Chain A
Amino acid sequence: NAGVTQTPKFRILKIGQSMTLQCTQDMNHNYMYWYRQDPGMGLKLIYYSVGAGITDKGEVPNGYNVSRSTTEDFPLRLELAAPSQTSVYFCASSHSTEAFFGQGTRLTVV
């Protein structure tokens, strides 16, 4: 069972570059989420989606964009990378309330 798959696992970006973090789930979950994890801060919700074509902002959406064209995929886009976006990013999916997490993407912006 693949579950939630994120790519890449690691990435170093230069300030101002852009990139897309990929997230795919094979559990046919309607709900998908992007979180960022910073030391001592827990996880903060960036964006979420309740189904294909529907997305909404979470607690810390600035500097990010998402799309949800299919049930399976929920990519996170960084348009102009900034050092403040250095973090570990987790994608999650859910059928109702229990969330399943991907392995994470460790992003460093230098």
Chain B
Amino acid sequence: AQSVSQHNHHVILSEAASLELGCNYSYGGTVNLFWYVQYPGQHLQLLLKYFSGDPLVKGIKGFEAEFIKSKFSFNLRKPSVQWSDTAEYFCASSGGADGLTFGKGTHLIIQP
């Protein structure tokens, strides 16, 4: 069975700080990896995804993630965060048709 772990459950940063959210997955086969964002009171929106190819993936709103197969990691990064990035961030993996496996989420608060 797949599992996804996110290292930080709560992160507080100041505006313009750099962000890195950790994500590790466990699955021996081909895996597709995602980062979703959930703004307060809203549904999940896809930030970026990795299926194959270039391990550095660029997503929306200046986010990027790097797939490191040897470390089973898919960390999310952003060089300079904004107050509007306050949200919950979920890492997820998918090995097939039976849905996504989510991490427990990281609640990110950006202080002005």
Contacts and interface: CB of A to CB of B under 8 A. Distances in A.
Interface stretch (B53-61, B63-71, B77-85, B95-103): B95-103
Interface in A10-57: 31, 33, 35, 40-45, 48, 50, 56
Interface of A: 31, 33, 35, 40-45, 48, 50, 56, 58, 90, 92, 97-99, 101-104
Given A101-B43, A102-B43, A103-B42, A40 B104 contact: yes
Contact of A97 (B43, B94, B102, B103): B94
A92 B36 CA distance: 13
Contact of B9 (A33, A40, A98): A40
Interface of B: 9, 32, 34, 36, 42-46, 49, 51, 90, 94, 97-105
B43 A42 contact: no
29 contacts: A33-B100, A35-B99, A40-B104, A42-B90, A42-B102, A42-B103, A42-B104, A42-B105, A43-B44, A43-B90, A43-B100, A44-B102, A45-B98, A45-B100, A48-B97, A48-B99, A50-B97, A56-B98, A58-B99, A90-B43, A90-B44, A92-B99, A92-B100, A97-B32, A97-B51, A98-B49, A99-B46, A102-B43, A103-B43
Nearest to A104: B43
Contacts of B101: 45
Contacts of A33: 99-100
Contacts of B9: 40
Contacts of B97: 31, 48, 50
A69 to B, nearest CB: 19
Contacts of B102: 35, 42-44
